[in-house]
Amino acid sequence: MADNEGNIDAKSFGVGVPQTQEQFFLKGNENASYGIKSRLSQVFNKKSGHTVMLAFDHGFIMGPTSGLERIDLTINPLIEYSDCIMCTRGILRSVIPPTANKPISFRADGGTTILTSLNDETLIDIEEAVRLNVSLLAIMVAIGDPDHEGSTIRNLTKTVDLGQRYGIPTLGVTAVGKNLTRDSRYLGLATRVCAENGANVIKTYYCDEKFEQVTNACPVPIVIAGGKKLPERDALQLAKNAIDQGAAGVDMGRNIFQADSPVAMLLAVREIVHNGATVDQAFDCYETYKNQAK
Ligand code: 5RP
């Protein structure tokens, strides 16, 4: 029981000193709830304002993708070098140790595969996301897909509503579509639609022309997917271009786990995303770590 006698008098009331109140560091999320901001702060580094997310959710549409045949052997050793992992609940529960203690960008929808139409998605129960202690709800949005645009926007809307209720931010993922063009006009429209529908962060692709128009017209942070495997230096250049043109990070998969040396690649990408390294510096870093790992 608390002792009522002999206590030191409270006297540090800071009279005249206004209570400190910090502005939230991620654009467009100042008015989000405490839970949403707290989870976003787990995913994004407050100092750089950026994130390096490691995506390995490919299996849910592509099956055992190269580099992901045995996630326990190839991905688990990489997790410590990432800021956040993006995966499905099946892989999370079966392969990722809970002791990894990394923020999770949770594939909160399940859908059709490369064998059929892609993007016919269904939502996973929000309580599953709560049970799995996730930091982001990732939802595929197929803007421009005549068959699935409406249903995937409904999925996004529903997820944002549930995310608001439980304090979990939503990541709108602009879809991988067989017939979708990845130019600034399309990506600008798709990212903006996701943001207008309430996503807290958007994942999309980089485009060579006018990408800064995409990031500028999007009121919340954008992270980029890496896409198909490129030579390592080209993938670093892609990350550099995206960051220089306003991306808040990367959510990369194949260009990391299919690299000659995945740990070295992840560390080199971090140099660009968090430390402002040039492509030459990052590539030197890649070569150095790769040789050390041999
Ligand atoms: C698919 C995804 C993937 O996670 C994404 O494409 C990232 O992987 P990669 O860098 O290999 O493209 O969101 O919807």
- How do the domains of the chain map onto residue ranges? 34-41+49-223
178 is catalytic: no
Q: Give one word for 119, left, alpha or beta, with left for phi > 0 and alpha for psi -120 to 50.
A: left
pLDDT score of 205: 97
Q: How many CB atoms lie within 10 A of CB 213?
A: 16
Q: Please state the atom number of ligand 1 nearest to the C-alpha of residue 138.
A: 13
From the list 27, 158, 203, 228, the catalytic residue is 203
pLDDT in tens, 259-277: 999 999 999 999 999 999 9
**Residue 231: φ, ψ to 5°:** -55, 145
Residue 118, CA distances (Å) to 89, 138, 148, 203 in order: 19, 16, 9, 17
C-alpha 20 to ligand 1 mean position (Å): 40
Count the residues in the chain.
294
C-alpha 199 to ligand 1 mean position (Å): 18
C-alpha 287 to ligand 1 mean position (Å): 25
Verdict on whether the full-model pTM lies above 0.75: yes
The fold for domain 34-41+49-223 equals TIM Barrel (3.20.20)
pLDDT in tens, 163-219: 999 999 999 999 866 667 889 999 999 999 999 999 999 999 999 999 999 999 999
